[in-house]
Amino acid sequence: MHVNDSRQISYRILDASANRAAEGIRTIEEFVRFGLDDSQAAAVAKELRHELAAALSRLNRAELLAARDTDGDVGTTLQTAAEYSRTEIADVITAAAERVQQSLRVLEEYGKTIDVEFARQIESLRYRAYTHHRQIELHAIASSRSRRLADAVLYLLIDCGRSEAEFVETIRSLSDAGVDVFQLRDKQASDRQLYERAKCGAVIAKGCDALFIVNDRADIASSAGADGVHVGQDELPAGMARRVVGSERLVGVSTHDIDQVHQAIAGGADYIGCGPTFPSTTKSFDAHAGTAFLKQVHEETRQTPRPAFAIGGINQQNLDQVTACGFHRIAVTAAINDAEDPAAAARALRRQLLG
Ligand SMILES: Cc1ncc(COP(=O)(O)OP(=O)(O)O)c(N)n1
Ligand SMILES: Cc1nc(C(=O)O)sc1CCOP(=O)(O)O
Ligand SMILES: [Mg+2]
């Protein structure tokens, strides 16, 4: 290869990468500007764009433009299915952040063949962009989870199942039937089993636009990439669970009386489970909070509303008593898992909840 060819190749790559980096930075900046009311983050986003422009001004613009050959670019017609599978703003942000990182890295590497100071400036920008974009990405992921939680009405507790294939099929078919949130609750499973199922369940549920929560174990929820953890009165307090799972994941708390409800909300719970409403075949209790508790929660949390799921022995026959208390969200086990046709049971419960 001739030296001039090599310079032209570098310039062609730099031109393409500069455009990709600028597009990615702008994509994220638009979310910061129009999606978050955060003037500080908006200022950093703008700075990054200007820093990129300043570094690029070190390159010879005429050479950059001369090297551009969009029609001759064999890559423009190559598209992956993933590019058209984004359904959420969080996915758009993740893809843009990855694009920025990759293209800045390319600019840095090929930039070294043209101007070492340019490469240094891009390297520093890459680190700054990484930190800033990671924060924005976490924010977008958290908003996406909160949005899905706010829309959720039907929450199902599931165990590890007999095999991974069965577990995957359960999530897919029941999500299709209207389950919005799955909680992995299996008191017999080993840590390793829980971790493996949680990892798998988180991916499958995401593909179905459902949430995937891990019962009791903040460590497993976080390491497996689940959407959140559900803790009871015997597990970590909400604030400590939050420290483990981070602000981008959900923390749910079980409550059995109104003091626990207020504590859970004050502790930063994203949602609460309220029960036991009726006698349950899944877990036995000495006493039942009953529908009186649900009515009390409905009345006393109007000022600090959180999604609240009634739980404990709820089924198609007694659901009307729950909705009469102002609760239109439920969490169940037996009513779906022990039904002859679990998908039909999920559909029926959902219809009743929304009806
Ligand atoms: C949604 C929801 N609500 C309540 C519970 C019960 O949690 P906990 O009291 O910690 O009891 P176990 O489930 O751990 O036996 C829950 N799991 N989910
Ligand atoms: C695990 C659990 N916790 C409850 C509480 O009230 O905190 S009730 C419950 C059992 C939920 O299963 P089912 O729908 O089969 O009764
Ligand atoms: Mg528990």
What is the whole-number distance in angstroms between the Cα of residue 334 and the centre of ligand 2? 9
From the CA of 184, which ligand is nearest?
A: 1
CA-based nearest residue to 330, from 148, 184, 153: 153
- Residue 103 known to bind ligand: no
Supply the pLDDT for residue 5: 84
Distances (CA, A) of 94 to 41, 70, 144: 17, 26, 12
Say whether both 92 and 220 belong to one domain.
no
What is the whole-number distance in angstroms between the Cα of residue 291 and the centre of ligand 2? 14
Our count of domains for the chain comes to 2
CB 109 within 8 A of CB 37: no
What is the whole-number distance in angstroms between the Cα of residue 157 and the centre of ligand 2? 9
- Is the C-beta atom of 273 inside 6 A of ligand 2? yes
Q: How far apart are CA 289 and CA 307, in angstroms?
A: 18
Q: C-alpha 229: how far from its chain's center? A: 13
- Is the C-beta atom of 288 inside 6 A of ligand 2? no
Peptide bond preceding 276 in cis form (omega within 30 of 0): yes
What is the whole-number distance in angstroms between the Cα of residue 242 and the centre of ligand 2? 23
Phi-psi region for residue 230, left (φ > 0), alpha (ψ -120 to 50) or beta? beta
Say whether both 223 and 122 belong to one domain.
no
- Is the C-beta atom of 215 inside 6 A of ligand 2? no
Q: How far apart are CA 181 and CA 185, in angstroms?
A: 12
- Residue 321 known to bind ligand: no
What is the whole-number distance in angstroms between the Cα of residue 292 and the centre of ligand 1? 19
Say whether both 142 and 157 belong to one domain.
no
Q: How far apart are CA 351 and CA 355, in angstroms?
A: 6
- Is the C-beta atom of 289 inside 6 A of ligand 2? no
Say whether both 261 and 309 belong to one domain.
yes
CB 233 within 8 A of CB 241: no
Question: Ligand 2, closest atom to CA 275?
Answer: 6
Neighbours of 241 (CB within 10 A): 28
- Is the C-beta atom of 255 inside 6 A of ligand 2? no
Q: How far apart are CA 300 and CA 261, in angstroms?
A: 9
- Residue 252 known to bind ligand: no
- Which of 94, 119, 146 is at the close of a domain? 146
Q: Helix, strand, or coil here: 273? A: strand
Question: Ligand 1, closest atom to CA 231?
Answer: 10
- Which of 124, 146, 168 is at the close of a domain? 146
Say whether both 139 and 197 belong to one domain.
no
- Residue 184 known to bind ligand: yes
Say whether both 141 and 156 belong to one domain.
no
Q: How far apart are CA 201 and CA 181, in angstroms?
A: 11
Say whether both 100 and 59 belong to one domain.
yes
CATH assignment at residue 139? 1.20.1260
Q: How far apart are CA 218 and CA 236, in angstroms?
A: 8
Q: How far apart are CA 253 and CA 261, in angstroms?
A: 8
- Which of 105, 127, 146 is at the close of a domain? 146
174 contact partners, CB below 8 Å, separation of at least 6: 156, 182, 336, 342, 343, 346
Neighbours of 168 (CB within 10 A): 17
CA-based nearest residue to 107, from 15, 27, 3, 28: 15
Say whether both 240 and 278 belong to one domain.
yes
CATH assignment at residue 222? 3.20.20.70
- Residue 113 known to bind ligand: no
Atom 10 of ligand 2, residue of closest alpha carbon: 312
ipTM exceeds 0.95, yes or no: yes
Say whether both 132 and 251 belong to one domain.
no
What is the whole-number distance in angstroms between the Cα of residue 293 and the centre of ligand 3? 20
Question: Ligand 2, closest atom to CA 282?
Answer: 15
Atom 10 of ligand 1, residue of closest alpha carbon: 232
Q: How far apart are CA 337 and CA 282, in angstroms?
A: 10
Say whether both 36 and 133 belong to one domain.
yes
Q: What are φ and ψ of residue 150, in 5° steps?
A: -60, -30
Please give the residue range of the domain that contains residue 126: 3-146
Say whether both 137 and 221 belong to one domain.
no
Say whether both 156 and 110 belong to one domain.
no
Neighbours of 78 (CB within 10 A): 8
Q: How far apart are CA 100 and CA 80, in angstroms?
A: 18
Instruction: Please report where in the chains the tokens 């840590």 appear, as a residue.
Output: 191
Q: Give the end-to-end CA distance of the chain in Å, rounded to a whole number.
A: 71
The segments of the chain whose pLDDT lies below 70 read 1-4, 74, 76-87
- Residue 206 known to bind ligand: no
Supply the pLDDT for residue 194: 98
209 contact partners, CB below 8 Å, separation of at least 6: 87, 148, 175
What is the whole-number distance in angstroms between the Cα of residue 309 and the centre of ligand 2? 11
| Ligand 1 environment, Cβ below 6 A | 155, 157, 183, 185, 215-216, 230, 232, 235, 252, 254, 273, 283, 309, 311, 331
